[in-house]
Amino acid sequence: MVMKIRKEDYAASLESEYQKGVMHLSETGIAKLPKKYVLPASERPNDIVDQQASNLKLPVIDFAELHGPNRPQVLKSLANACEHYGFFQLVNHGISGSVIRNMMDVSRRFFDLPFEERHKYMNPNMYSPVRYGTSFNQTKDGVFYWRDFLKLMCYPSSEMLPHWPSSPSDFRNLAVTYANENKCLFLKLMEAIVESLRLGNEKKTTEDDDGDEEEDNILRELEDGSQLMVVNCYPPCPEPQLTLGMPPHSDYGFLTLLLQDQVEGLQIHFEGKWVTIAPNPNSLVINVGDHLEIFSNGRYKSALHRVMVNSIKPRISLASLLTVPSETVIRPWRKLVDEANPRRYMDTDFATFLKYVSSREPKKKNFLESRKLT
């Protein structure tokens, strides 16, 4: 007897196939991009505007120089990069080549594991210490993005580590080593960034004492703050011009520290155009997140960025998003607020953000927009 499959059942079975992620899909060998990933024409990477897409040279900040006699000049370059681009390349950052290579290598080996092994970590809970998933917002996206990810909560590491993948067997060790170095670098960078925000504000004497105290506070809060590592995996895509690896978005934290392999993909929105950030083997790409934009009262920009995919080479990237603990309230630094520069954002906290993203698609700068005072 021939069983007739109901159309809805067939659609539902396909839907669950897509929930398994793009690594699984590409392993099954597909020649055409399934409809589920085809973006409306206006959201595709090759629309008219992108014809002019070019490579953008980001400002380069030399972390070693920041700790030498040129600190004042480097702080100025840092301020300029955060104001105009919201992005910069960090060289001489002090994280050793082997720590970085090991982290990228073990990430690759994780995604090469059989589906059943990766699948163990698939769950929809945003508060989970470890979460494997696909697309951007897997439970909300209508059209899916060509990305699989592994999200690891890193702080406090003694509580998080036992939940991280036990396979590959060296994963936890290598990942926690990278996470710790990453956190130290972040704290030093934030010290410099807070100092750079002071520049041009020396004249201000009102409420200075409160401002200083707030500065100490923010740095202390960041020490105990949240750290999320997102390992992104973009396998080769059969029709890359029809989809994206990640939609235009901004990152929520104070800073994101991004490690990318040698394959192009990251684009930032700069002066109305999408421009590609070519990978540079010895640097980290650093970007300002929403929380720093708020703290700086809008002076530093949390810039929109997105990810393109390609048909030839798999791409791996590792984004570390760092901010204050989830219950901490983030508000514009008082030092930066006066009559000429009124407060531009309302108080916000990370927990509010998490509620926001779980209730709707966090695309574009919706969250930041929702915190703006009009």
Residues in contact with ligand OGA by CB under 6 A are 230, 232, 246, 251, 258, 260, 265-266, 305, 307, 317, 319
Q: Where are the alpha helices (DSSP H) in the chain?
A: 7-19, 22-27, 63-66, 71-84, 97-111, 115-119, 157-160, 171-198, 208-223, 290-295, 350-359, 366-371
What Cα–Cα distance (Å) separates residue 259 from each residue in 14, 151, 272?
33, 15, 25
Residue 293 touches which member of ligand OGA, Ni ion, none, C-beta under 5-8 Å by kind:
none
Q: Report the distance separating Cα 113 and Cα 115, nearest Å.
A: 6
**Strand ranges inside 271-339, DSSP E:** 273-276, 284-288, 305-307, 315-322, 329-330
Which residue has the CB atom at the shortest distance from Ni ion? 251
Instruction: Report if residue 290 touches Ni ion, rule: CB under 5 A.
Output: no
Residue 230 touches which member of ligand OGA, Ni ion, none, C-beta under 5-8 Å by kind:
ligand OGA
Residue 240, phi then psi, degrees to nearest 5: -65, -20
Instruction: Report if residue 214 touches Ni ion, rule: CB under 5 A.
Output: no
Instruction: Report if residue 293 touches Ni ion, rule: CB under 5 A.
Output: no
CB 32 → Ni ion: shortest distance, Å?
28
Q: How many residues bind Ni ion (CB under 5 A)?
A: 1
CB 169 → ligand OGA: shortest distance, Å?
26
CB 236 → ligand OGA: shortest distance, Å?
15
Cβ burial of 203 (10 Å; 0-12, 13-18, 19+) is: exposed
Q: Report the distance separating Cα 288 and Cα 311, nearest Å.
A: 30
Residue 265 touches which member of ligand OGA, Ni ion, none, C-beta under 5-8 Å by kind:
ligand OGA
CB 74 within 8 A of CB 64: no
Comparing CB distances to ligand OGA, the nearer of 252 and 345 is 252
Q: Report the distance separating Cα 266 and Cα 357, nearest Å.
A: 22
DSSP assignment, residue 104? Answer: H
Comparing CB distances to Ni ion, the nearer of 75 and 268 is 268
Q: Which of 148, 215, 251, 290 binds Ni ion (CB under 5 A)?
A: 251
CB 192 → Ni ion: shortest distance, Å?
22
> With CB under 5 A as the contact rule, which of the stretches 26-34, 60-68, 91-99, 250-258 interacts with Ni ion?
250-258
Residues that bind Ni ion (CB under 5 A): 251
